[in-house]
């Protein structure tokens, strides 16, 4: 008797999961029947000929999340399979990796030893340019995130003026990660890079590291090279550049600090100057409570769509359904609503501490984990998520649905959160605190789930304790909200989110209870 399709599918999925690496599976590692079943069931998403993503059919057609989540894994596996150790990312692509730029690039450029030159087209208008350049193939290669990259000092010497103009934050971070001028000058001297020397000398003067400027020019002069200093940046210096005057240990820390300083002036310029009457604690709580039901807003989905053994077993038993069991869905929604209410109670307790005289950022820093634990305690008690989830910051990678922004890896969370709280402590403007506090928290995504909900709670704590109203982000504004967050994350444009939150605040004021 033939086995039912769901059992055959589960067996195929189990074999594919075993054959996959970080969610990527090659045709040669699957039988034709397994591949056909998985394609029919919607479990395989093509990348290029012979390469697939192992993804849940829950992913809507045309959704980019699963691809962006696996982008660098595919790049690494493809290059290793095709070229073994005979490849290296270009200077510019290497600097993106060194400086922890987590925006998915339009194109990754690869230098190889083999006599080939081609462009590999990938999903969602992404590509790899692969070409031979034996003369510029580095003698020493660094390995970061399992990718072969140029050492950061060599990459700075090799990169073009255009990189300083188009990727200025990455360029500044890279410049400030160099420990000593000798790391730069040895490459400049070895290859006689006079133009690069002038460009780097000017770049270091721009970020107020004149000791590097002097060392580069004088060292080149001693070797007989006349260097003309030139500033490769095409932007004015700003207060945000102050962080680059000293050596940067963590590019993640520097990126958060830079974003805050760069964006704060735009928030101030575009958020309407509205006078607010600070309510008493009792009146504030009454107002918040009266609007509680309307405040229940679904968080951003950060599901990673990873195939698990539990899911395979569910399919094998015929218990998995794409639409999900209605009662199970209602149960999950009820637990989420209960967690939201418990977290809401914890936020009100935090507000009381501020009204009793504690500093709002101290309260936030001390109570943040309590909000998170309250949010997910019901799901833990119901056995839907493991108890160690309550421990704190995530210990795995996470992705934001539909976004080209990939949150920092788990190893960078503490550096990012240190920078985040330092920015909050130093910031005096309550609007900037709330807008950037919400955005950068979501940008970091420190938890496996609930970041959107907690980010909005955080925003409202910062606003309410400064006399501004509890602001509800409406469900009907979801698309505009997500687009504004994406613009801030990918384009570093905080204006759309600033204007959006201002409009939502006006709406909340009109409906204030």
In the predicted model, is pLDDT for residue 263 greater than 50?
A: yes
Task: Provide the 3-class DSSP secondary structure of residue 432.
Answer: helix
Q: Place 41 in a pLDDT band, splitting at 50, 70 and 90.
A: confident
User: Which pLDDT score is estimated for 313?
Assistant: 53
- Looking at residue 53, the DSSP 8-state letter turns out to be E
- The whole-angstrom separation of Cα 453 and Cα 372 is 9
Mean pLDDT of the chain: 87
Q: 467: which 2 tokens?
A: 């006399």
- The whole-angstrom separation of Cα 446 and Cα 400 is 12
Q: Place 63 in a pLDDT band, splitting at 50, 70 and 90.
A: low
CB 438 within 8 A of CB 456: yes
> Which region among 139-143, 215-219, 392-396, 431-435 has the lowest average model confidence (pLDDT)?
392-396
CB 130 within 8 A of CB 117: yes
- The whole-angstrom separation of Cα 23 and Cα 440 is 28
The DSSP string of 88-153 is: EE-HHHHHHHHTT--BPPSEEEEEESSS-EEEEEETTTEEEEEEE-GGGS-SS-EEETTEEE--HH
Q: Report pLDDT digits (tens) over 89-147.
A: 999 999 999 999 988 899 999 999 999 999 999 998 999 999 999 988 999 999 998 99
- The whole-angstrom separation of Cα 329 and Cα 406 is 28
CB 401 within 8 A of CB 392: no
User: Which pLDDT score is estimated for 8?
Assistant: 85
Across the range 301-316, mean pLDDT stands at: 41
Nearest 10 degrees: Cα torsion 179, 182, 183, 185: 140
Across the range 155-184, mean pLDDT stands at: 95
Half-sphere exposure (Cβ direction) of 274: Cα atoms closer than 13 Å? 17
**Within 10 A of 475 (CB to CB), how many other CB atoms are there?**
11
User: Which pLDDT score is estimated for 304?
Assistant: 30
In the predicted model, is pLDDT for residue 408 greater than 60?
A: yes
Structural domains present in the chain: 5-54 (no CATH), 70-150 (no CATH), 158-248 (no CATH), 253-308+326-510 (1.10.3290.10)
Across the range 71-99, mean pLDDT stands at: 95
Q: Place 301 in a pLDDT band, splitting at 50, 70 and 90.
A: very low
In the predicted model, is pLDDT for residue 320 greater than 60?
A: no
Among 299, 243, 337, residue whose Cα is nearest residue 451: 299
Task: Provide the 3-class DSSP secondary structure of residue 448.
Answer: coil
In the predicted model, is pLDDT for residue 165 greater than 80?
A: yes
Query: Cα angle at 402 between 341 and 400, to 5 degrees?
Result: 50
User: Which pLDDT score is estimated for 163?
Assistant: 96
Instruction: Tell which wins on pLDDT, 259 or 10.
Output: 259
Q: What is the 3-state secondary structure (H, E, C) of 357-384?
A: CCCHHHHHHHHHHHHHHHHHHHHHHCCC
| H/E stretch holding 51 | strand 51-54
User: Which pLDDT score is estimated for 2?
Assistant: 64
> Which region among 330-334, 373-377, 494-498 has the lowest average model confidence (pLDDT)?
330-334
CA distance to 118, 176, 334, per residue, from 371 (Å): 51, 36, 18
Spatial neighbors of 237 by CB under 8 A, at least 6 apart, are: 206
CA distance to 101, 252, 259, 377, 494, per residue, from 266 (Å): 22, 22, 11, 38, 7
- The whole-angstrom separation of Cα 360 and Cα 354 is 6
């Amino acid at each position: 008797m033939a086995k039912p399709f769901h059992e055959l599918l589960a067996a195929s999925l189990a074999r594919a999961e075993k054959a996959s690496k970080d969610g990527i599976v090659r045709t040669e590692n699957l039988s034709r029947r397994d591949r056909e079943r998985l394609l029919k069931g919607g479990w395989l998403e093509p990348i290029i000929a012979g390469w697939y993503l192992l993804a849940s059919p829950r992913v809507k057609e045309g959704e980019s999340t699963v691809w962006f989540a696996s982008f660098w894994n595919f790049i690494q596996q493809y290059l290793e399979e095709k070229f073994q150790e005979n490849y290296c990312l270009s200077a510019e692509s290497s600097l993106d990796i060194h400086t922890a730029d987590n925006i998915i690039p339009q194109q990754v450029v690869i230098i190889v030893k083999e006599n080939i030159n081609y462009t590999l087209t990938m999903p969602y208008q992404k590509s790899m340019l692969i070409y031979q350049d034996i003369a510029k193939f580095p003698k020493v290669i660094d390995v970061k995130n399992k990718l072969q990259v140029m050492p950061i000092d060599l990459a700075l010497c090799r990169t073009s003026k255009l990189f300083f103009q188009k990727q200025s934050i990455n360029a500044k971070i890279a410049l400030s990660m160099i420990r000593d001028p000798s790391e730069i000058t040895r490459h400049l001297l070895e290859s006689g890079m006079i133009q690069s020397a002038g460009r780097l000398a000017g770049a270091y003067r721009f970020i107020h590291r004149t000791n590097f400027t002097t060392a580069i020019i004088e060292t080149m002069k001693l070797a007989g090279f006349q260097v003309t200093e030139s500033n490769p940046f095409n932007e004015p210096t700003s207060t945000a550049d102050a962080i680059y005057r000293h050596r940067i240990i963590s590019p993640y820390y520097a990126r958060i600090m830079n974003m805050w300083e760069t964006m704060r002036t735009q928030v101030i310029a575009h958020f309407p100057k509205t006078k607010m009457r600070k309510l008493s604690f009792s009146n504030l709580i009454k107002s918040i409570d009266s609007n509680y039901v309307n405040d229940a807003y679904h968080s951003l989905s950060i599901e990673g769509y990873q195939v698990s053994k539990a899911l395979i077993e569910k399919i094998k038993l015929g218990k998995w359904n794409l639409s999900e069991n209605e009662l199970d869905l209602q149960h999950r929604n009820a637990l989420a609503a209960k967690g939201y209410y418990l977290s809401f109670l914890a936020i009100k307790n935090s507000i009381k501490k501020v009204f009793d005289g504690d500093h709002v950022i101290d309260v936030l820093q001390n109570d943040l984990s309590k909000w998170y634990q309250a949010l997910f305690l019901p799901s833990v008690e119901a056995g839907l998520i493991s108890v160690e989830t309550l421990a704190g910051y995530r210990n795995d990678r996470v992705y934001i649905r539909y976004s080209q922004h990939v949150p920092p890896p788990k190893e960078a969370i503490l550096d990012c959160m240190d920078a985040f709280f330092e920015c909050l402590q130093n910031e005096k403007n309550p609007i900037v605190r709330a807008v950037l506090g919400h955005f950068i928290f979501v940008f970091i995504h420190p938890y496996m789930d609930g970041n959107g909900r907690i980010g909005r709670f955080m925003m409202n704590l910062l606003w309410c304790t400064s006399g501004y109203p509890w602001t509800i982000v409406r469900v009907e504004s979801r698309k505009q909200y997500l687009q504004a967050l994406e613009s801030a994350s990918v384009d570093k444009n905080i204006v759309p989110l600033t204007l959006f939150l201002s409009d939502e605040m006006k709406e909340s004021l009109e409906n204030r209870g």
